Chains A and B, each alone.
Chain A
C-alpha cells in the first residue's frame, strides 16, 4: 500500500511553478513514477503531494535545430527517445542508452527527467548524456537556469535541484558528423538490471570523452581528451575520474578491472 498523498496534475507550466513554490519540500514531481513510486511503496520517501508534470507541454516533446541542437522535454520517455528519428540518426548513443534502461514496461513509462533527477550512480542516461555534453534546464517561479550536467549531479541520489525547482528540458549540442561512439553496460543477468559498470565513449575530430556509471557517487565523465588518445591514456583518465565501492552488485576491484576492459574493447572499435 502507498501512504496517503494528494495527486495534482497541472496543465500549465505557471501552475506547476506555483504549486512547487507552495508545497516545496513536501512535494515530489511525478513523471514516469518507476523510481518514485518504488520509494513511496518502500516508505523511504513520504511526500504529501505528488505533482504530475506529464500534462505540461513544455515538459514534453523533442525539438532539434542545427543551431541549437537537441532539446528533450523532461517527461519524454525512454521509448520516445529510442524511436525518435532525429535522436536515432544524430544522437545514436542517447537512443542506445535509453534502450539499456529496465524492461519494455519500464521504458514505456520511465523518463529522461526522472532518470537524471533520481541521480543514481548507475543512471544509464547519466553517463551517456555527460559524454554528449548535455546541459540541464531548471525552472522555478524565481526564474530559469541552465547548468552543465556534470554540475547537476552532486552525490548519490543528490542533485543541484532546489525544492521549488523542476527539470524542464535537457539540451544536447550538435555532434559533428562522423562522430564515433560506443557503450558497454555490464549486468548480472541478460534481462533488465541496473549497471554493475557502464562505460560510454564518444569521439569527434575535436575531442574524446569517456563516461562511466556505477563507479563513483555520481555518473562521471573524463572529458576533453585528445581524439587520438591511446587506450592507456584514456584508461588513466578514466581511473582518475572514478572511485568505485564494494556493494551488493560487485566489488571495487572488479569494477576497476571492468572499466579497463570496456575501454580496451570500445576504443579500438571506434576507428
Chain B
C-alpha cells in the first residue's frame, strides 16, 4: 500500500508491503540508517524513534500503520552540520562509546525533555529504562543529559560526595 509520512520535517510517499517494519522502511526505503536494529523484539530500544510525539520501538511498528504520521529520528538532530545541544552534551561527557544505542537514547531523552526540561536523575533513568547500553556507559549518559539541561555539577564535587 502507498503511505505518506513526514520524517524530520520532510515529506515522503512510498509504496510499502504489509510486512515492512517502520525500522526497515526508514533504513532501507528512505536510507535513514541512523536508527539501528538491536534485538528486533522491543527489548533494547536501539531502534527508538518518535512517532506522533511518542517514542516507539520502530522494529515493532509496521510501516503501513504509520500512514499520515510524523516521525523524528536521529537524523533530525544535527542542523547544517552542527550537532544539536543534546548531541553536543553526549559528545562532551563521553555519553557515546560504541555508539550503537546512541540514536535511540537521544530519541528517548529528547522525548523526556519535552515533558521535563530539567529532569531529575530518577526521571532520566526511568526515561531510558527501555534503552540498553551494552557498553554499560549509563553514568556518562545520565551526566550528558544533566549537562544538556544545565544541571551537571563539577566532577570533583561529585567524587567527593560519593566518597
A residues touching B (Cβ–Cβ < 8 Å)?
1-7, 9, 30, 32-34, 37-38, 41-42, 50, 52, 54, 79, 102-106, 108-109, 191-192
Given contacts A9-B64, A38-B41, A41-B40, contact A2 B57 (CB under 8 A): no
Q: Which of B5-13, B16-24, B85-93, B146-154 contacts A (4 or more CB under 8 A)?
A: B16-24
Given contacts A4-B19, A102-B130, A192-B129, contact A37 B64 (CB under 8 A): no
In B40-61, the 8 Å CB interface with A consists of 40-43, 45, 48, 54-57, 59-61
B108: CB under 8 A from chain A?
A: yes
B32: CB under 8 A from chain A?
A: no
Given contacts A4-B17, A41-B40, A191-B130, contact A105 B65 (CB under 8 A): no
CA distance A37 to B62 in the complex (A): 9
In B71-88, the 8 Å CB interface with A consists of none
- Chain B: residues with Cβ within 8 Å of the partner, total of 28
B98: CB under 8 A from chain A?
A: no
Contacts of A4 in B (CB 8 A): 17-19
Q: Tell whether, in the assembled complex, residue B60 and residue A2 are in contact, meaning their CB atoms are under 8 Å apart.
A: no
Contacts of A54 in B (CB 8 A): 65
Contacts of B113 in A (CB 8 A): none
Specify the chain A residue showing the minimal Cβ separation from B130: A103
Q: Tell whether, in the assembled complex, residue B18 and residue A109 are in contact, meaning their CB atoms are under 8 Å apart.
A: no
Specify the chain A residue showing the minimal Cβ separation from B62: A7
A selection of 25 A-B contacts at a CB cut-off of 8 Å is: A2-B21, A4-B17, A4-B18, A5-B18, A9-B64, A30-B62, A30-B65, A32-B60, A33-B60, A33-B65, A34-B42, A38-B42, A38-B60, A54-B65, A102-B42, A103-B131, A104-B55, A104-B127, A106-B42, A106-B57, A106-B130, A108-B56, A109-B61, A191-B130, A192-B130
CA distance A192 to B127 in the complex (A): 11
Q: Tell whether, in the assembled complex, residue A7 and residue B130 are in contact, meaning their CB atoms are under 8 Å apart.
A: no
B1: CB under 8 A from chain A?
A: yes
CA distance A34 to B64 in the complex (A): 16
Q: Tell whether, in the assembled complex, residue B54 and residue A108 are in contact, meaning their CB atoms are under 8 Å apart.
A: yes
Which of A3, A42, A105, A192 counts the most B-chain CB atoms under 10 A from its CB? A105
Query: Which 4 residue pairs spanning A and B have beta carbons closest together?
Result: A103-B130, A7-B18, A2-B19, A108-B54
Q: Name the one of A6, A9, A30, A105 contacting B42, with C-beta atoms under 8 angstroms.
A: A105
Q: Tell whether, in the assembled complex, residue B56 and residue A109 are in contact, meaning their CB atoms are under 8 Å apart.
A: yes
* Interface contacts beyond A5-B19, A38-B41, A192-B43: sample of 13 additional A-B pairs, CB < 8 Å, sorted by A: A7-B1, A9-B65, A30-B62, A33-B61, A38-B42, A103-B45, A103-B130, A104-B111, A105-B45, A105-B48, A108-B54, A108-B55, A192-B130
